[in-house]
Chain A
């Protein structure tokens, strides 16, 4: 009997009782419109349905914004921008503090709605997404009246109207990452949430109303890719902040050629999580698990390539499998759930296709025994060993709970393999040797390096990529740069 099966059986003998969070706290309206100039209104496109990916039931019918709606939203943002930028920094600051406080007050409601619409475990939306979003507003609130100390010259100026296009993996948190620094610096925003996860953004619109935020400062338009393309190409947009795939990021970078629009892009990744033989193994195993199974692996900075030093390969894999065997996959609203639902059918298909390619290319796949719910979109946690650097599962972003394991012998080989990717968003290093840890951190071409930890986020800590993972930083003082007018025109810059 392998140790992992042993543990699985023990776990089965001590079944957890269900511990569901009540969904009654979240109000889900059957129909939601666009939020433009302070009011909700129907879009002129074809309304679409957002579903609960854990049950496939329809949650709400959401308006689709088309050209007319976007034009209206951009004009509202433009009109509001002049007034918003003329407010004193101290007044803007207090608006942001208000937003932060209301998010904290309504945190449980937002967390439940996020888990229902997205499929992520409630313990993550409750303990990570929503508190970090509130912290982001709180952090940037404090900057609004201190911008002249931020290292952007004596009179920092806003860029104007920002188009924010955000993904479905951290809907509310990404909204905060975009809106908080934009507003603090005197810009106004037209935000498009992802097609599959619009509900918490629309709840944020209500929060803006509760905070008495001036109409037009924040506008929210819902829709799919076409709506996003329409928004970023609107001539009234001065700045584009995009988080999403490298493919779409590239299209945006092409589309702004010859314009004055400035752009920041936070794109894909294929992070190496590097484990040396002197690593604190217990922590490393938790870090590997957190690195790839946090948020079902729907994380651009996920540690999706595990690089293990050859001498500890077997030990790490055995312990990893034992730990994977006790991961709980299921109801996102259950407080004990570790891995929730895959966000959509199309994402599930993509994960399935890539894992099939892993098998076809000769890698070995392993998943613990686990019963997946009959309804909804699910994928069992999976680890691939025997992976070569050329395999698609070692090169392409899977964006799911699928880990590819490679090995190395020397630190130099680890660096070479880790950097052997067009991406450069994040990396992890596990070793107890300080000098090696710092040397590795200096060699890795990635915007965030987690040493003896993984997937940590904080509003004070800049986040963003090297190479094809995009440009610009979100978070910290560096995050302000993206929303302040440059002294010249450039599509990037990380001052």
Chain B
């Protein structure tokens, strides 16, 4: 007699915990052939707001940590992801119907990307900041600082897309609320499990699953969100309305666009959510 398997319930990842959507709603996720895989949580406005609250609460501690510490935590995410790579490869294959080699390549790239961004934490201030030679007896220095809470709408795909948009945001000290790809939410929640066991403080990354056209407007108009990444928005009208809503409190906006996720990233995913602070002090006896 075959053993009945124990199926995982996929919930949300908010404030370091895995709650169901407060709305009680869920939606079925299917594999590439259209067969049922699992039910995912259908996040509501309230979930989005709870996630922003958690991200805001996590911001002072995360942004206040040393860059070395943030760097190690993000590297730790890569380590844990590596140790669970088999599970992610399986999920990618079942969700996307991808060949084993492609699934392996995607997981490799996601892990390597985390490692790449992990190393940026303590390099950004030197690369982007520095001393300014002002014409007077002043010490004058510029440093990048994180913008705050960033809403991220992840591109399609189970893992690499999500990692590619979250890692650059948090490495500099921002906290984030991400909406996972609507058709591929399962690995996002599994990634949440990786994060929850990687010394990443609760609330630094919050993951919502569900329809982006329903959840994203609440994040775009939220007055305690400082930036928004529209990478995963494919509907042009939705992108316009989100950018307009984001203007209300002058969020830093990254517009949507198609990019090859396998190609090497530039600095722009980090710099969009950085503020340059310049400090002056007189010099004299």
Contacts and interface: CB of A to CB of B under 8 A. Distances in A.
A144 B160 CA distance: 39
A446 B277 CA distance: 7
Contacts of A478: 142, 276
B250 A494 contact: no
A437 B280 contact: no
Given A462-B142, A490-B253, A491-B255, A257 B132 contact: no
Contacts of A246: 250
Contacts of A491: 243, 252-255
A250 B239 CA distance: 17
Interface in A432-481: 437, 441, 446-453, 456, 458, 460-464, 466-468, 470-471, 473, 476-478, 481
A460 B250 CA distance: 26
A495 B267 contact: yes
Contacts of B248: 250
A135 B135 CA distance: 9
A441 B138 CA distance: 15
B240 interface: yes
A253 interface: yes
Contacts of B239: 257-258
A258 B271 contact: no
Contacts of A495: 128, 267-268, 271, 274
B142 A468 contact: no
Interface of A is mostly: loop
A447 B276 contact: yes
A487 B266 contact: yes
- Number of chain B interface residues as a range: 35 or more
A257 B247 contact: yes
Interface string B226-262: 1100000000100111011011111011110101000
Contacts of B266: 487
Nearest to B275: A466
B6 interface: no
Contacts of A467: 226, 249-250
Contacts of B274: 494-495
A463 B267 CA distance: 21
20 contacts: A151-B127, A253-B247, A265-B250, A441-B277, A441-B279, A447-B275, A447-B277, A449-B279, A461-B278, A467-B226, A477-B130, A481-B271, A486-B268, A488-B257, A490-B252, A490-B268, A491-B252, A492-B227, A494-B128, A495-B267
A29 interface: no
Given A468-B250, A488-B254, A489-B255, A461 B140 contact: yes
A85 B274 CA distance: 29
- Number of chain A interface residues as a range: 35 or more
B1 interface: no
Nearest to A495: B271
Contacts of A422: 249
Contact of A437 (B226, B268, B281): B281
Contacts of A441: 277, 279
Interface of A: 135, 151, 246, 249-250, 253-254, 256-258, 265, 267, 422, 424, 437, 441, 446-453, 456, 458, 460-464, 466-468, 470-471, 473, 476-478, 481, 486-495
B285 interface: no
B272 interface: yes
Contacts of B240: 257-258
A451 B280 contact: yes
B276 A464 contact: yes
A493 B267 CA distance: 10
Contacts of B144: 494
Contacts of B253: 253, 490-492
A467 B250 CA distance: 7
Contacts of A466: 147, 275, 277
A424 B276 CA distance: 12
Contacts of A490: 252-255, 268, 272
Nearest to B248: A250
A449 B239 CA distance: 35
B250 A249 contact: yes
B4 interface: no
A458 B136 contact: yes
A437 B227 CA distance: 29
A375 B214 CA distance: 58
